[in-house]
Structure 1
Amino acid sequence: MEIAGWILVIVLFLVGMAGTIFPILPGAVAIYAAFFVYGFFLTFEHFGFWFWTMQTLIVAVLFLADYAVSAWGVKRFGGSKASIIGSTIGAIFGPFVIPAFGLLLGPLLGAIIGELIAGSDFEKSLKVGFGSVVGLFSSMVVKIILQVVMIVLFILWIL
Structure 2
Amino acid sequence: MQIIYWLLVALMVVGIIGAVVPAIPGASLILIAIISWGFISGSFAAIKIPLIVTIIVLLLSVGIDFLASYLGAKKAGASQWGQIGAIVGFVVGFLGLLPTLPVGGPLLGMLLGPLLGAIIGEYLYRRDWKVAIKAGIGIVVGTLVGNLIQGLLAISAVVVFLVTTWPQVFGA
**For this structure pair, what is the TM-score category when the shorter chain's length is used for normalisation?**
0.7 to 0.9
SS at match of 2:24: coil
Spell out the pairing of 1:1-159 with structure 2 (5 A cutoff). 2-3=1-2, 5-43=4-42, 44-48=44-48, 50-97=49-96, 98=98, 99=105, 101-159=108-166
Task: Give the Å deviation of 1:73.
Answer: 0.9
Higher relative CO (Cα under 8 Å, sequence separation at least 6) belongs to: 2
Identity of aligned residues (%): 30
C-alpha separation in 2, matches of 1:72 and 1:66: 10
Q: Which runs of 4+ in 1 moved over 4 A?
A: none
Q: Which is further off, 102-111 or 55-64? A: 102-111
Mapped contact 2:85–2:118 kept (Cα < 8 A): yes
C-alpha separation in 2, matches of 1:61 and 1:101: 26
Task: Give the Å deviation of 1:104.
Answer: 2.6
Task: Give the Å deviation of 1:3.
Answer: 4.8
Amino acid paired to 1:62:
S
The unaligned stretches of length 5 or more in structure 1 are none
Amino acid paired to 2:84:
I
SS at match of 1:118: helix
C-alpha separation in 1, matches of 2:21 and 2:92: 9
SS at match of 2:71: helix
SS at match of 1:19: helix
Amino acid paired to 1:75:
K
Q: Normalized against structure 2, the TM-score is what?
A: 0.79
The unaligned stretches of length 5 or more in structure 2 are 99-104, 167-172
Mapped contact 2:20–2:148 kept (Cα < 8 A): no
Report how many residues are paired.
157
Amino acid paired to 1:46:
A
CA shift in 2, pair 1:12/1:120, >3 Å: farther
Larger Rg: 2
Q: Normalized against structure 1, the TM-score is what?
A: 0.85
Task: Give the Å deviation of 1:4.
Answer: 5.5
C-alpha separation in 1, matches of 2:154 and 2:22: 14
Task: Give the RMSD, CA atoms, in angstroms.
Answer: 2.1
Amino acid paired to 1:79:
A
C-alpha separation in 2, matches of 1:47 and 1:13: 14
Q: Which is further off, 20-29 or 6-15? A: 6-15
